[in-house]
Amino acid sequence: MKDFLKPHRLVMIGIALALILFCAWKLNWSWLPDYLHLIPLAIWRTIWITVVTMSLGMIFAIMLGFAQAAGPAYLSVPARIYCSIIRGTPLLLQLWLLYYGLGSLFPQFPWIRDSFMWPILRQAWPYAVLALTMSVAGYEGEVMRGAFKGVAGGQLEAARAMGMPRFTAFRRIWLPQALFRALPTIGGETVLQMKSTPLVATITVVDIYSLAKRVTQDTFIVYEPLLILAVVYMVMAGLIVLLFRWLENRIPSRTA
Amino acid sequence: MKKTIFAVAVAMTFGTAALAEPLKIGIAAEPYPPFASPDAAGNWVGWEVDFINAVCAAGEMECVITPVAWEGIIPSLTGGQIDAIMASMSITEERMKTIDFSDKYYNTPTMIVTAKGSGLTPDAAGMAGKIIGVQVSTIHEAYAQAHFPDAAEIKTYQTTDEGFQDLAAGRVDASQADSIAIDAFMSSDAGKACCEVIGAVADDPAILGAGVGVGLRKGEDELKAKFNAAIAKVIADGTYETISKPYFASSIYGG
Amino acid sequence: MLSFAVTAGAASALDLLAWSPPGWGATLVAGLWNTILIALGAYALGLLIGVAGAFGKLYGGPILKDLLAVYTTLVRAVPELVLLLLIYFAARDALNNLLNIYGYGPIEFSGVAAGIVVLGVVQGAYSTEVLRGAILSVPAGQIEAARAMGMSPMLLARRVTLPLMTSAAVPGLANLWLTVTKDTALLAVIGFIELTKATSLAAGTTKSFLTFYLAAGILYLLLSLVSGVIFGRIERWARRGQRNAGGGGI
């Protein structure tokens, strides 16, 4: 800690604190009391969208990565095409394509409204979750492909030599080792995923970004809500980084 | 050397002040037929575009139509990127805290459109438990939030078209918008097939405002007087009717 | 019946995408052109900031290092959309206030210029990290040998550091190019007419959402495929004369 607090750093921290105090005093925070009760729910929405899409997406990413690393051509080629398409088009476009594009089909097929899926198809968040999950699967599929390929072949050969069934070898050796290799990258990608959640505001899902926009529209105050928004995202990014650092510390590493 | 630079700077300052800069008239970058929407060649056409041209001609002002995102149009005005807003913006007290308005140039009622045969009424009782679609940052959003507290959800869209699209798709039960925008939707195939207008909402002048006017920065009284004179001239000499005829059956000036 | 509907749909879709009005093809391509222009400008600006930032982080004083660390952390922690709005409104207002003090009128930022500045600042942070990693990967022995032979710092940078650094930086820079081409879509939210906004306008006016979004997706895919080919060539050129890395798999 003493290393960190060199003189110039103390000065800079002092300046930063002074800046924050100045902002807290001078800027227009009159809107806060009216909207404070909406903030926790909005933050929760952002968090659960990130967590759910990251988890679901990773499951698909593992499958896609494995298909590309070790699968036969009829699996690896479609997986590769899928990853290329997802990574080659903007997420905003994918979101709008799913929500408005599919939505434009609904009037042509009236029977959809009577089906059991209708309550889900009507709302906006399933499309957001679907689009973000597909995006995670596409990007992390690439990461997992590299991770699977990077696991030392000797380990897998040893497992085969000991007579381990193929699925057990996958479950106990290939997959965990690939995940450990990929963990730092996945941590960075999780932060990137969290940063793409504001886009769901354009398809009417109310997250913290959408709430900040609403404050601006109601009160015409532009900067203060955006600053609070930036702080919220910085805190969340910091928490994600800390979480992944903790996970990385728990990975068994050889000391021999 | 320093003197030359100073002289050039002074000359530039006064020079630019002397040049008559064209007025930048901000319109919404989102399509809002029949008032302003882009055609396939990328030009903006519509009643409001024609009206802007007429007012600028009547006021002898040189105008440049500048599309700006609707959400950021007021900050763009106060920040100086545009000089006036003519984007079907209603004159409301809330907005008048930040900007100034000219006299109104049209006033149309606010209506609600729903799926055919829905049996809903355009009041709080009818909207209870329903999902309502409105355009973001409009008087309709403010009205719905104030008057329909029991609505299941109020969904906000970037453009009115997207809201109507979701109404046709069945994702919202009702859409609240300006009657002219609704008419434009109802005259399309999608609108005729899916939906019907159930009537106007109860008036609330504080929220719905007193018609649509030109948005101006506070303190620009000279410009405001110019616009008011130009609008009055356009109405008085019949240009208003000439513009409106191809678009509307009756006058939209309103009471 | 279904095939008839599909072919009728396809025919009308091609009509909508036709080049001249009432087809929207030309508008979409104009949007694509804007996208490419902004991406190129932002990428170049990002590279300039990145080179300065990388050298600053590696060879600068402690204050400079800390400031750059704050810059890169902020940009990487806050969503681009929020940064875009902040920089767009705040930078414009700050600049105009500054100009007001000196008596000049407000500068009109064209959409292209604003987009380039905003995205360039964001790209700069990521470029700094990529270039810093690339410079660090230059073998120290080569630099020491060059210094021992009396090469001046400029000659050292030009003959040793830059060529070796380039080949390590190209994959990261290729990723950044793909990122910036897709980030231009975010400018649609501030109303600027690039490909995604043009598509949204066309779709909203004609109500053919599926047609236009699919067409835009295909255009973006083409852009990324062509970029991939070009960057592959650049990487081969940058790696010329080096031993083949990545041999010896298991």
- Give the pair of three-digit tokens for residue A7: 């003189």
Write the pLDDT tens digit of every residue in A197-256.
Answer: 998 888 888 888 888 888 887 777 778 888 888 899 999 999 998 898 888 888 776 654
Strands (E), chain B: 23-28, 37-38, 44-45, 63-68, 84-85, 100-106, 110-115, 131-135, 153-157, 174-178, 195-200, 212-216
Q: Give Dmax over CA atoms of chain C in angstroms.
A: 81
Mean local confidence (pLDDT), B125-147 = 87
Report the alpha-carbon distance of residue A46 to residue C120 in Å, rounded: 27
Task: Give chain C's mean pLDDT.
Answer: 81
Residue B197's φ and ψ, nearest 5 degrees, are -90, 130
The residue assigned the tokens 């302003």 is: B36
Helix pair C25-59, C162-183: axis angle to 10 deg: 140
3-state secondary structure of B132: strand
The verdict on B70 touching C (C-beta cutoff 8 Å) is yes
Give yes or no for residue C22 having a pLDDT over 80. Answer: no
Q: How far is A255 from chain C (nearest CA, A)?
A: 23
Give yes or no for residue B117 having a pLDDT over 70. Answer: yes
Mean local confidence (pLDDT), B188-192 = 81
Residue B138's φ and ψ, nearest 5 degrees, are -120, 170
Compute, in degrees rounded to 10, the torsion defined by CA atoms A203, A208, A213, A214.
Answer: 90
Q: Regarding predicted confidence, which is higher, A103 or B178?
A: B178
State the pLDDT at residue A256: 46
User: Which chains reach chain C with 3 or more Cβ–Cβ distances below 8 angstroms?
Assistant: A, B
Mean local confidence (pLDDT), C208-219 = 87
Residue in chain A closest to B172 (alpha carbons) equals A122
Report the alpha-carbon distance of residue A215 to residue A206 in Å, rounded: 13
The verdict on A187 touching C (C-beta cutoff 8 Å) is no
H or E segment at C250? none
CB contact under 8 A, A93 and C185: yes
3-state secondary structure of B131: strand
Give yes or no for residue C250 having a pLDDT over 50. Answer: no
What pLDDT band is residue C210 in, cutting at 50, 70 and 90? confident
State the pLDDT at residue C42: 93
Q: Mutate one of C12, C102, C107, C108 to test the B interface: name it (highest B CB count within 10 A).
A: C108
Report the alpha-carbon distance of residue C212 to residue A100 in Å, rounded: 11
State the pLDDT at residue C249: 28
State the pLDDT at residue A119: 81
pTM of the model: 0.81
3-state secondary structure of B64: strand
- The amino acid at A242: L
Q: Mutate one of B37, B81, B171 to test the C interface: name it (highest C CB count within 10 A).
A: B81
Report the alpha-carbon distance of residue B75 to residue B185 in Å, rounded: 30
Q: Mutate one of B171, B173, B192, B194 to test the A interface: name it (highest A CB count within 10 A).
A: B171
State the pLDDT at residue A221: 78
State the pLDDT at residue C168: 80
Report the alpha-carbon distance of residue C15 to residue C12 in Å, rounded: 5
The verdict on A104 touching B (C-beta cutoff 8 Å) is yes
Residues sharing a CB contact under 8 Å with residue B2, sequence separation 6 or more, in sequence order: none
Q: Which residues of chain A have pLDDT under 50?
A: 256
Integer-rounded Cα radius of gyration of chain A:
23
| DSSP summary character for residue B36 | B
State the pLDDT at residue C111: 67
Torsional class of B103: left (φ above 0), alpha (ψ -120 to 50), beta (otherwise) = beta
Nearest to B38 among C103, C105, C205 (CB): C205
Q: How far is A184 from chain C (nearest CA, A)?
A: 15
CB contact under 8 A, C207 and B72: no
What pLDDT band is residue C220 in, cutting at 50, 70 and 90? very high
Q: How far is A119 from chain C (nearest CA, A)?
A: 22
Distance between first and last Cα of chain B = 64
CB contact under 8 A, C78 and A233: yes
Task: Give chain B's mean pLDDT.
Answer: 83
CA angle C17, B161, A217 (to 5 degrees): 125
User: Which chains reach chain B with 3 or more Cβ–Cβ distances below 8 angstroms?
Assistant: A, C
| Pairing outcome for strands B212-216 and B195-200 | unpaired
State the pLDDT at residue B15: 39
| DSSP summary character for residue C128 | H
Give yes or no for residue B19 having a pLDDT over 60. Answer: no
State the pLDDT at residue C110: 67
Write the pLDDT tens digit of every residue in B216-241.
Answer: 998 888 889 988 999 888 888 888 88
Q: Name which of C132, C40, C123 is nearest C83 in CA terms.
A: C123
Task: Encode C58-76: b = buried (16+ Cβ within 10 Å), e = exposed.
Answer: eeeeeeeebbbeebbeebb
Do A208 and A43 contact (CB within 8 A), yes or no?
A: yes
- Give the pair of three-digit tokens for residue A21: 């105090």
State the pLDDT at residue C243: 64
CB contact under 8 A, B30 and C204: yes
Q: Mutate one of A30, A99, A125, A204 to test the B interface: name it (highest B CB count within 10 A).
A: A204
Distance between first and last Cα of chain A = 31
Mean local confidence (pLDDT), C157-174 = 83
Give yes or no for residue C248 having a pLDDT over 50. Answer: no
Chain C partners within 8 Å of B188 (Cβ) = 207
Q: Regarding predicted confidence, which is higher, C191 or B39?
A: B39
The residue assigned the tokens 């410079």 is: C135
